[in-house]
Amino acid sequence: MHNSFSLSRPFLVMSEIKQENKPVFKDWLILIALMLTWGSSFILIKKGLVSFDNFEVGALRVSISFLVLLPFALKRLSKIKLRNFHLFLIAGLTGNALPAFLFATAQTELDSLMAGILNSLTPLFTLLLGVWLFGRRTHFLNIAGVIIGFLGAVGLLYAAGSGSLQFNFLPAMFVILATICYAVNMNLVKNYLADYDSVTIASLAFVFIGLPAIIFLGFYSDFWYRMNHIEGSWQSLGYIAILSVFGTALAIIVHFWLIKRTSALFASSVTYLMPLVSVAWGIIDGEVFKLSFLLWIMIILIGVYAANRPSQRISKWANRLKN
């Protein structure tokens, strides 16, 4: 009898589990670069919200990324099998469109450092969905890690709310929903889009969401009014452009490439150290950071670490204890 824990897969069934390769030194360097890039995204969202509302920030982020990646998408569109188009649509929605709007909405009430910390829950959901929907094997320690991570997140929100969850609950839920979207996206890319190169995946994902975002900005928002009448709007647009080009378009290409080279769980572990970057930017920008946050951050990271331990290593560790 195998000593790993497995859940049923009610929605998606795979013919085989894709091979996962052990990360090498180059992969770790790329992971650190992504950490620095994405760890800075929360402060850039905050700066964008100075002049634009949450829907405009989300739409701008998607629109600019779409325009940057459009030349690559046009060259590759004819090579895509018609039966796979829905996969790129799902990848665009879960990996880009929905998180862009969810994070912008959350940060209308939540500090950027807090959003960055809660984003570290992404590997937990990557594990849970990988087990439930994609047949990934796991172990009791992985499940314990998920529970520990959630307790750390609740404790952090409680500490940030000065003994209350009421103020932080709704914006925090938007961040958590965004991390679930990321988890769906990473498992989808690893298991169903592995035959495509990372540029193809990233660029075509925006084909389905870019035009609706541009239409929204042009006809259903106050974007042009804000650009012409609100002081500092160009500066806010500049922050969003930096986020879109480097933190979205280019970083997503690199991230998809990393997922294919290694595993969805390893690629999602970029969120281990992202909170350090987001917290640093938040403190520099004058946001409140309490020492009690450190305890809950450590609990979250311990939970994430335990949740991501390979089941083979845990099995070897358990066998050694028995012997």
φ, ψ (nearest 5 deg) of residue 282: -65, -45
pLDDT for 6 beyond 60: no
Per-domain residue ranges of the chain: 25-322
Are 206 and 93 within 8 A, CB to CB? no
Burial 235-256 (b: 16+ CB within 10 A, else e): ebbebbbbbbbbbbbbbbbbbb
pLDDT for 317 beyond 50: no
pLDDT for 11 beyond 80: no
Q: Give the integer Cα–Cα distance in Å for 167 and 184.
A: 28
Q: Give the integer Cα–Cα distance in Å for 172 and 169.
A: 5
Average confidence score pLDDT of the chain: 80
Q: What is the pLDDT of residues 219-250, one digit of tens each?
A: 999 999 999 989 899 999 999 999 999 988 88
Per-residue HEC secondary structure of 85-112 comes to HHHHHHHHHHHHHHHHHHHHHHCCCCCH
Geometric angle at alpha carbon 67, from 126 and 117, rounded to 5°? 30
Q: What is the arithmetic mean of pLDDT over 178-196?
A: 86
Q: Give the integer Cα–Cα distance in Å for 256 and 306.
A: 24
**% pLDDT > 70, the chain:** 83
Q: What is the pLDDT of residues 71-122, one digit of tens each?
A: 999 988 887 878 888 899 999 999 899 999 999 999 998 888 888 888 877 8
